[in-house]
Amino acid sequence: MSEVKAYGAADSKADLKEIKIERRAIKPRDVKIKITYCGVCHSDIHTVRNDWGGSKYPVVPGHEIIGKVLEIGNEVENVKVGDTVGVGCMVDSCRECEPCKNDLEQFCEKGMVGTYNGKDKHLGGHTYGGYSEEVVVDNYYVLRVPKNLDENAVAPLLCAGITTFSPLNHWKVSKGDKVGVIGLGGLGHMGIKFAHAMGAHVVMITTSPGKAEDAKRLGADEVLISKDADAMKKHANSFDFLLNTVPVGHDINPYISLLKIDATMCMVGAVEPLEAVHGGSLIMGRKNVAGSLIGGIKETQEMLDFCGEHNIVSDIEMIDMNTINEAYERVVNGDVKYRFVIDMESLRN
């Protein structure tokens, strides 16, 4: 075992501050990673603040991890010492159940182990995430990073990237489809980039008129202000697919009205009750509301390779570890373009 520095919160009201955590000694299939960058996901904040219940303290968040391989166990073949690698939202699953066998480890019937706040099978207690100097992970959950991409801007692909890529892929978004991305934050900005790269006609659906120019720069063909009822009416019944990244419970009825017959809105943002859905709005048009959780390991690697081919990374603002509490406030206030990434060197100094 080794002790490393990390940033954690002692309870749901506490600021994050420096603490010490243990990392296990590597086992034959393990990879020890020196963390170089870690993205800041809104889920980190939800977990620190116990918005979803069940948070275990101290919470050490971070599931958009990039780092260098320091050491490998003697059965590891997929990476070697010195490689740049990524770790996303999962560090284990049973690998035997139907979902696991079908590359859907995120839906493991025994429960996937989250990178943070999961059950630590090795040391007991719960897992600690990427706001730390090092991490030890089973090689199966370690991803290869395309060499042509900037490492720091790759970090957010490990959560924001796969969470938006997977539903666009699953619902087979393709050339000519009219796709709406709802909410221009960390997830939303990746949603625009992917939908654009897949050839869709992309409409950014936002509450913030000030983000219109950016949305276009990121690849949106049109911008729709969701608070503008007339504009929303003009787009009624016209979308092939909607990706909803809004991070809180809200009224989804106005968005359902935007869907074509048989079309789907996939929810990825709000992991909490939504306002009541009017049954008629689904019945009239055989419309679908669905959900999606990150993506499996195989698909996460496919997403990274897709990003390598299409030169896609996240738009980031780099921060030092000791400014994380201010960064959280800014995320909650929608004031980040479009993902904070922590330079983990700042924790080592």
Which residues are near ligand NAP by CB under 6 A? 41-43, 46, 159-160, 163, 183-188, 206-208, 211, 245-248, 250, 268-269, 292-294, 331, 334
Site string for Zn ion, 183-202 (x = CB under 5 A): --------------------
State the residue number with the nearest CB to ligand NAP: 185
Quote the tokens at residue 237: 């019944």
Helices marked H in 102-245: 151-154, 160-170, 186-197, 212-218, 229-234
In the complex with ligand NAP, which residue's Cβ is closer, 84 or 163? 163
CB atoms within 10 A of CB 81: 12
41 lines the binding site for Zn ion (CB under 5 A) = yes
Is 108 a binder of Zn ion (CB under 5 A)? yes
User: How many residues does the structure list for the chain?
Assistant: 349
Contact 40, 340 (CB under 8 A): yes
DSSP SS3 for 175: coil
Closest CB 26 distance from ligand NAP, rounded Å: 28
Q: Does 271 bind Zn ion (CB under 5 A)?
A: no
- Residue 69 or 160: which CB sits closer to ligand NAP? 160
Q: Which does 56 bind (CB under 5 to 8 A by kind): Zn ion, ligand NAP, none?
A: none
In whole angstroms, how far apart are CA 74 and each of 69, 83, 120, 276?
14, 16, 22, 54
The partner in contact with residue 100, picked from Zn ion, ligand NAP, none with C-beta cut-offs of 5 to 8 angstroms by kind, is Zn ion
Q: Does residue 97 interact with Zn ion by CB under 5 A?
A: yes
Please tell me what DSSP assigns to residue 275.
Answer: P
Nearer to Zn ion, 57 or 140 (CB): 140
Contacts of residue 45, Cβ cutoff 8 Å, sequence gap at least 6: 51, 61, 328, 331, 332
Q: 159 or 197: whose CB is closer to ligand NAP?
A: 159
